Amino acid sequence: MSILIELLKSLVYGVIQGITEWLPISSTGHLILLNTVMPLNLYPDASANLAFWNMYKVVIQLGSILAVIAAFHSKLWPFDPKRSQARQKQIIRLWLLILIATIPVGIIGFLLNDIIDEKLSTPAVVGVTLLIYGIIFILVEQKPKAPVINSTAEITPKAAVITGLFESLALIPGTSRSGSTIIGSLLLGMNRPTATEFSFYLAIPAMIGASLLKLVKMKITLGLSGILVLLVGMASAYIVSVVVLRSLLRYVRKNSFRLFGAYRIILGLLILILALIGAFPEGIGV
């Protein structure tokens, strides 16, 4: 019965991950709230559960990444013999831009991963960053910059590097990887669909790298129950992500990001209030 309960929890975690990873509202903020209400308890030792959680909340993202690859494989796979040479070169160029943009977050994440986990992974930091970026979203949308980049084919190497620097800001918990990259892309003059789509693509190397780093540094042995819990979370994150990815692209073609900004502000305030009254367990490990 115990493992069944943990599997059901993981199913819910995956659903939340699949929804919030792609919306610019911080999956971390939602996961720490969920972890407070129904923490994963696979091991009798509290430190082992914390170590598993710190790994789980990152590696579960692989389900979301597989969803991106599945949903956009036609735009990301250059070696289809049916494609023209011009289109193949265009896709290869896109991958080069993705890799260029990933360099900053890769270097900074590798160097500062432990410091971020130890010093910044707190509910208070998550609440503040949710609040700040929510305000930024609303301000950016108050006076939107006229789009000068209307497709991923028009993105320049310089724009890719700057977007990658914005993605690096998401190493601070609560910032939202998609939120920071979308804000950066909008400021660079990308239209909303292009900014959102490029954000999806940038997630592939960034999140795979982060997941592998967590697995390498993992200090516990997963065991069969741990593997099953992780796989269930990844599977539900995958299924939900497939739906959310397409829905978000349709939404941003006709709507601004103000709604997400307002939502972030409300969620940030809620987390800060809960942190202030001591509602989060000590050492929650966000």
**Residue 285, pLDDT above cutoff 60:** no
Q: Pick the range with the lowest mean pLDDT from 157-166, 186-195, 211-220.
A: 211-220
- Residue 285 domain-assigned? no
Residue 195 and residue 185 in contact, taking contact as beta carbons nearer than 8 Å: yes
Q: Measure the CA–CA gap between 167 and 35, rounded to whole angstroms.
A: 25
Domain count for the chain: 1
Range of the domain at 228: 2-276
- Residue 284 domain-assigned? no
pLDDT at 286: 47
Higher pLDDT, 186 or 119: 186
- Which residues, in sequence order, are CB contacts of 197 under 8 Å at separation 6+? 72, 152, 249
**Residue 283, pLDDT above cutoff 60:** no
What is the percent of the chain where pLDDT is above 70?
97
- Residue 153 domain-assigned? yes
**Residue 136, pLDDT above cutoff 70:** yes
Other CB atoms within a 10 A radius of the CB of residue 48 amount to 16
- Residue 25 domain-assigned? yes
Q: What's the mean pLDDT in 140-161?
A: 93
- Residue 158 domain-assigned? yes
- Residue 282 domain-assigned? no
- Residue 170 domain-assigned? yes
- Residue 160 domain-assigned? yes
**Highest-pLDDT range among 142-146, 219-223, 230-234:** 230-234
The terminus-to-terminus CA distance of the chain in angstroms comes to 27
pTM of the full predicted structure?
A: 0.89
